[in-house]
Amino acid sequence: MSQHGKRSLAESLASESDQYLRELTEDLTESQCRELLYSWRGFWARPSQILPGTPGAGDPRSDWLIWLINAGRGFGKTRTGAETVRQWAEQPSERILMIAPTGADVRDTMIEGPSGLLQCYPPDGRPVYEPSKRRIIFPSGAAGILRSADEPERLRGPQFTKFWADELCAWRFLEEAWDQIQFGFRVKSPHGRLQGVITTTPKPLKLYKSIVDDPTTVVTRGSTYENRSNLAPSFFDRVIAPYEGTRLGRQEINAEILTDTPGALWTAAMIEQSRIKRSEVRWDLLVRTVLAIDPAVTATDGADETGMIVAGIVRSGHVIVFDDLSGRWTPLEWADRAVAVLRHGQWPASRIVAEVNNGGDLVERNVRGVMANAPFQKVWASHGKLVRAEPIAAAYERGMVHHMGVFSDLESQMTTYVPGLGRSPDRMDALVYAITELLFPQPVEQRVQIGRTVQISPI
């Protein structure tokens, strides 16, 4: 069911004259003003932000299981999710699961963020947040259970009556985490149905599509523009305007599920068809693992990220992409992170592969400055990006490359890169280096005891 945003009472009053507003509020007591400040459903919320089936909501349905808020950045998704939890938590018997892509996202966005749960309450009436116990206790006595989607195994055990899932399409282990949510979503609520709210920007993922198509799901769609009156003008000038009319803007502003980019080497279906769960990996058949780096020149805010991908090859010749560790790091930071994977990382990488076109020998020296004997392989991007990327895309098409979980940023780069149109992105470049090294390894020079240089296979 699609909805079109309408204005909140606060937005309607904002267009009135100052004289009218003074007359309207001059008789309000301090207590009434305070109540108005935290009156979400009655004053601040747009109809599309109110729980379906409740007074003032844009959708009258009450027989739903999942409320999916499919909206662009700045729509007010986080505040809507937080206020929905606040409404549920008015009942003391409710147990509410709150889950985000990472533990930091739970803390920084869902709980403590500017639109998070604590900001929904007056300072003297806020819930008790206990981060060490990963829970939050509401004034009514209702309990909030806090979990991160990147640890699906920690979702085993907790039972709950309601849940709020934030940025579902960015969850690394999406299917595993979702499965565990379904198992715990079983406690009978004395105050109505089991219900969950999902706040996310959409991506063309199989699980996401199945949730949209489920008849027990209510879908609310919205764009950034619906919340314009509550956003700084500079946000639209600096962040939104440059992306208006672009493919990324259609996804991040208008919350469209995009079809494949014409001319792109990868399609969403190509990646989705071979995606696997962590539990499906045969670790005993793993032959070799590498960590590939596409280093950025600087680490300033406007600089490219350093692409850093971990991938391995199994005996059958299939490649598994294990992790995307990319980020905006200084040379020392990315070298530290790369060596940490070799020494005691989650993935048993046996070699670092790094593109050295920009940094030359400095790239290798960065790594060896952290670990002198680090196994290191230089890569020169001497051929065009298309020449290097085409055989890797062909391997995906043949079903030979598998993503272990969802890599949202990496996959966005892959499915939107068109050879010859702009620079190739960092995460995708690192991916190409990693898989090239695994599928088409180059000989490496190594000195034997007598001092003669010979060529040996890196495997």
Q: What is the pLDDT of residue 353?
A: 87
| 317 three-state secondary structure | coil
Q: What is the pLDDT of residue 446?
A: 41
Question: What does the H/E/C string look like for 175-234?
Answer: HHHHHHHHHHCCCCCCCCCCEEEEEECCCCCHHHHHHHHCCCEEEEEECHHHHHHHCCHH
284 CB neighbour count, 10 Å cutoff: 7
Amino acid at 30: E
Task: Please list the pLDDT of the chain residue by residue as tens digits (459 residues).
Answer: 333 447 777 666 666 677 766 766 777 777 777 777 888 888 888 888 999 998 888 888 888 999 999 887 778 899 999 999 999 999 999 999 999 999 999 999 999 999 999 999 999 899 999 999 999 999 999 999 999 999 888 888 778 889 999 999 999 999 999 999 988 776 666 555 789 999 998 888 889 999 999 999 999 987 776 766 666 666 666 666 666 656 566 666 666 666 667 788 898 889 999 999 988 998 889 999 999 988 876 656 666 788 999 999 999 999 999 999 999 888 888 888 888 887 776 777 788 888 776 555 677 787 787 877 777 777 765 555 667 888 999 999 999 999 999 998 899 889 888 877 666 788 999 999 999 999 987 654 443 343 444 444 443
Q: What is the pLDDT of residue 454?
A: 41
Q: Kindly report the pTM of this predicted structure.
A: 0.76
Helix 361-370 and helix 331-344: axis angle, to 10°? 50
288 CB neighbour count, 10 Å cutoff: 17
Residue 85 exposure: Cα atoms within 13 Å on the Cβ side:
36
Burial 79-105 (b: 16+ CB within 10 A, else e): bbbbbbbbbbbebeebbbbbbbbbbeb
| 1 three-state secondary structure | coil
Quick: pLDDT tens for 156-178.
877 888 999 999 999 999 999 99
**Domains within the chain, CATH numbers bracketed:** 9-252 (3.40.50.300), 268-456 (3.30.420.320)
- Give 277-286's long-range contacts (Cβ < 8 A, gap of 24+): 277/173, 277/175, 277/176, 277/404, 277/405, 278/173, 278/176, 278/404, 278/405, 279/176, 281/320, 281/404, 282/314, 285/314, 285/315, 285/316, 286/312, 286/313, 286/314, 286/320, 286/348
CA distance 356 to 247: 31
| 252 three-state secondary structure | helix
Question: What tokens does 26 get?
Answer: 């001059």
Residues 6+ apart with CB under 8 A from 155: 99, 147, 177, 180, 181, 184
CA distance 371 to 375: 9
CA distance 218 to 59: 8
Q: What is the pLDDT of residue 253?
A: 66
Question: What tokens does 456 get?
Answer: 């040996």
**Read out DSSP for 145-161?**
EEEETT-GGGGSS---S
Q: What is the pLDDT of residue 346?
A: 72
CA distance 268 to 203: 9
Residue 431's closest CA among 296, 328, 309? Answer: 309
Pairing relation of β-strands 319-324 and 217-222? unpaired
CA distance 116 to 103: 14
Q: Are 318 and 257 in contact (CB under 8 A)?
A: no
CA distance 387 to 373: 32
Residues 6+ apart with CB under 8 A from 360: none
Cα 130 from chain centroid? Answer: 24
